[in-house]
Amino acid sequence: MATSEAETTGRSKLWHLLSEFYLDETMTPQNLSRIAARCAESKYTLAELDVIMFRELYPAFVLNYWAPIGEWSPWSEEEVVARVRKYRCQPTPVRWWQLFIWGDWSRLKRQVKQLRLRRELAAH
């Protein structure tokens, strides 16, 4: 999945934000709402957000789930970018353990959709 340097720069903040899903802690409703608001402001469609989450971030961060003591504190943006660049060329099939984040991810996508709809209605 090759992307230009400009596209990487545009995605890096979103990669950093979405990497919170891979931390070894429960996603709070407040954090989910904060992340959804930022995703709603992004230029990416819901389908593109799925690609970012499961094809770009998942290969780089899924092993955090299997660590005896996973990472709890957020990674820096530089760490996230380095890991995504390192692992995104390695095909990683969707696995059952993606279900660990699927519920939160589905809620986030619903919130993004609602926020974008409200923004669109407010513009008219």
Span 29-64, pLDDT tens digits:
999 999 999 999 999 999 999 989 988 998 888 877
pTM: 0.82
Q: What mean pLDDT is reported for the chain? A: 84
What is the pLDDT, as a whole number, of residue 119?
93
Q: Domain segments of the chain: what residues?
A: 5-123
What is the Rg, in whole angstroms, of the alpha carbon atoms belonging to the chain?
A: 14
Distance, CA of 30 to CA of 10 (rounded, Å) = 24
What is the pLDDT, as a whole number, of residue 1?
45
- What is the percent of the chain with per-residue pLDDT over 70, rounded to a whole number? 77
